Chains A and B, each alone.
Chain A
Amino acid sequence: MFEYAPAPESRSIVSLAPSYGLFIDGEFGEAKDTFKTINPADEEVLAEVALASPEDVDRAVAAARRAFTGWSALPGSERAKYLFRIARIIQERSRELAVLESLDNGKPIKESRDVDLPLVAAHFFYYAGWADKLRYAGFGSDPRPLGVAGQVIPWNFPLLMLAWKIAPALATGNTVVLKPAETTPLSALFFADVCRQADLPPGVVNIVTGAGDTGRYLVEHPDVNKVAFTGSTEVGRQIARSVAGTGKRLTLELGGKAANIVFDDAPIDQAVEGIVNGIFFNQGHVCCAGSRLLVQESIAEELLSSLRRRMATLRVGDPLDKNTDVGAINSRAQLDRIIELSEIGSTEGAERWSPPCDLPDRGFWFAPTIFTGVTQAHRIAREEIFGPVLSVLTFRTPAEAVEKANNTPYGLSAGIWSEKGSQILAVADKLRAGVIWANTFNKFDPTSPFGGYKESGYGREGGRHGLEAYLA
């Protein structure tokens, strides 16, 4: 075998402070109560980060409220220039931010470098351009901002989710208090520094780090006008309940259990790539992951043998190695959940397979895994695992594929692989999901709206549609 020598990206480009305070009203405060954020690839502590108290959140919301007056009164063209500036600074610092993201999150550098960071910059560029064109967006002749947005984001794409939240909020004239995930707070704090570099007025963006309680306090804060959350369906439900009766606007981007449907006339090699990309991209820590493979029974064996062969070439390991395909699981807790659900899969009689791969001794790791012989009744076919675990089911006819694909409370995304145009269009019509990838998977673009049906949440992020959630 042609072995590739280690090709580590240098981490010296990232200069980490021992501790980080909250970013409120344009200033980094002192960190009083703190928690540690670790590198999931080796469990080393990267930095200590402030644990925001309710009073801290109050201060952040107050700062955002004060800033709202001036920010919302700025001509759109001026807001646009701040966002363009931010986009440019992100581009210039993208290698640094990519390495930071891989350190804190565990994702492979090739993904943070080639996917996350380019999309982050593109998102700011896209919404920058909207700031002075809102009256053309189809939401009325004089659309107005809502006020202060409380935003809570997950750990799987920390900076990208921040961009999805902050870029449209600022473009539309809202101000923001954002809470990054507990296990991945660093890139949001670096983004705060980007805001300072861009001379963004104080209070327009505030970053409060913390755990679930901090997020809860933020979304329940009476002076927040708009809540945007990306994360689990369970927390989304709690937020929807807490927002009830308050009149706060709410958008939720939640879990998924996407079907990736492969028909017998699919371009097989690209379908295999799509399956791999669908479930092993970002360690499967993707709400729209293609975690249920629905393959037409007539080609199931052939497809699975190709899939296993392809999986054997996946390189699992050091996230900073440029050749790593699958990095570290983000946290001990997430690893435990993946292990638990996988064991349930075995117990319930599904057949488990992973390619041989050496996992590092330290850190949180899980080998790419597929379960065959899975039926709709298996828990691994119904519950979101949020890890590199694929459940394989078969179907006989297009109608059965659609029925099985839709047989879930989720409805975020789905994949279709077929060379027959009429079949693709008919199936795409019938799938109850917000994003349909036909003959591709896990593609994202700032112009393309993203969001779910059913329990995968409501509202759309990205594109023209993404403006609506921030406009009155």
Chain B
Amino acid sequence: MTATATSRLSGLPDSPADLRTFLHGLPGVDKVGIEARAAALGTRSVKTSSKAQAIDLAIRMVDLTTLEGADTPGKVRALSAKALRPDPADPTCPAVAAVCVYPAMVPTAAAVLAGSGVHLASVATAFPSGQAPLDVKLADTRDAVAGGADEIDMVISRGAFLAGDYGKVFDEIVAVKEAAGPAHLKVILETGELGTYDNVRRASWLAMLAGAHFIKTSTGKVGVNATLPVTLVMLEAVRDFRERYGRQVGVKPAGGIRTTKDAIKYLVMINETCGDDWLSPDWFRFGASSLLNDLLMQRTKLTTGHYAGPDYFTLD
């Protein structure tokens, strides 16, 4: 009863029915409007000095990712090395935010990254489908943390969400967060499977209410991954959530972001939606792999004044 009173006081929904009422009481998202807004922000022209700043910031926001069945210790070691020094030829080039791997690869990456300040993220909870019993998901999470991961990228059960079982999704997030202990929790909504922007907004709030440190768009394993409008909906959600509850939550678009031009569009969108507070690797990440090399090429272009070529950047 006390818990109920407390959550009532703080305005948090405290039962599945409340949760449903709350999530369906959120303002709607108009598809045409949100897409037009995202496209308009995409026309911002970021040049010269601001472009240089943006590129370095984007590099610092990369969760350098490999999530393949074919991942090997060798591949993960190479990737981790690249995360530390993305451009070996240029010591002024910053390190990325994190390396993101499967739980089995966590110890390998941890050995390279230890003490570097580059975070180690691991997908867990039966990534990417999430279709496993809860105890399996929790064990997956504990293993990753035990192996050295300080960030956990979990997937929500889209099946439960789409079936309207918000309480189950909520409880799973709470449980995984507990299992993750000190590690930061990123909650993957898999927006490409949610079907509507209204659902993206609801899933964002659901994850935040359950305690997510970050909300993340996608696994990268379905047809539609991060898009500008989906990320915009999520940015609006974290902005509004902080205004309402006072707690800041980060955003991570993942999958499909490959070019500097794309990355800068995201930065512009943060800038003009949430502002300064989210323009930091602590609050915004790009889940990406090939993006990094394009950022490096554009960075080199700005410093040297001529266009760079892919042969001059490492393929790890």
Interface residues of A (CB under 8 A from B): 1-7, 110, 114, 265-270, 273-274, 313, 322-323, 419, 439-440
Contact = CB atoms under 8 A, between A and B. Distances in A.
A419 B197 CA distance: 14
Contact of A313 (B51, B236, B272): B272
A266 B267 CA distance: 27
B28 A1 contact: no
A2 B53 contact: yes
B246 to A, nearest CB: 16
Given A2-B267, A269-B236, A323-B44, 17 more contacts: A1-B275, A2-B50, A2-B268, A2-B270, A2-B279, A4-B45, A5-B47, A5-B50, A265-B27, A265-B28, A267-B29, A268-B27, A270-B30, A270-B37, A419-B27, A439-B33, A440-B32
A205 B101 CA distance: 68
B222 interface: no
3 nearest A-B residue pairs (beta carbon) = A270-B33, A7-B45, A322-B45
Contacts of B45: 4, 7, 322-323
Contacts of B111: none
Given A270-B30, A274-B33, A3 B50 contact: yes
Given A266-B27, A269-B236, A1 B48 contact: no
B271 A2 contact: yes
Given A1-B275, A2-B279, A273-B33, A267 B50 contact: no
B162 interface: no
B146 interface: no
Interface of B: 27-30, 32-34, 36-37, 43-51, 53-54, 236, 267-268, 270-272, 275-276, 279
Contact of A439 (B27, B30, B43, B47): B30
A439 B32 CA distance: 9
B230 to A, nearest CB: 13
A114 B41 CA distance: 13
B272 A267 contact: no
- Most chain A CB within a 10 A radius of its CB, from B30, B44, B46, B51: B30
B276 A267 contact: no
User: Which applies to chain B's interface (DSSP): helix, strand, loop or mixed?
Assistant: helix
Given A2-B267, A5-B48, A110 B29 contact: no
Contacts of A265: 27-28
A323 B272 CA distance: 12
A267 B229 CA distance: 15
A265 B26 CA distance: 9
Interface residues of A, dominant DSSP: loop
B279 A267 contact: no
Given A2-B276, A267-B29, A270-B37, A110 B43 contact: yes
Given A110-B43, A323-B44, A1 B33 contact: no
A1 B279 CA distance: 9
22 contacts: A1-B271, A2-B54, A2-B270, A2-B271, A4-B46, A5-B48, A5-B50, A6-B47, A7-B45, A7-B46, A265-B27, A267-B27, A267-B33, A269-B34, A270-B30, A273-B36, A273-B37, A322-B45, A419-B27, A419-B28, A439-B32, A440-B33
A439 to B, nearest CB: 5
Contacts of A267: 27-30, 33
A382 B212 CA distance: 49
A269 B32 contact: no
Contacts of A110: 43
A440 B34 CA distance: 11
Contacts of A6: 47
Contacts of B279: 2
A315 to B, nearest CB: 9
Contacts of A266: 27-28
Given A1-B275, A5-B49, A269 B29 contact: yes
A177 to B, nearest CB: 38
A277 to B, nearest CB: 9
A184 B48 CA distance: 33
Chain B CB within 10 Å, residue with most, of A1, A267, A274: A267
A121 B1 CA distance: 67
Contacts of A440: 32-33
B129 to A, nearest CB: 31
Contact of A114 (B43, B46, B47, B275): B43
Given A2-B54, A2-B271, A270-B29, A7 B276 contact: no
A5 B29 contact: no
B241 to A, nearest CB: 14
B18 to A, nearest CB: 20
A7 B29 contact: no
Given A269-B27, A269-B236, A440-B32, A1 B276 contact: yes
Nearest to B57: A2
A323 B271 CA distance: 13
Contacts of B36: 273
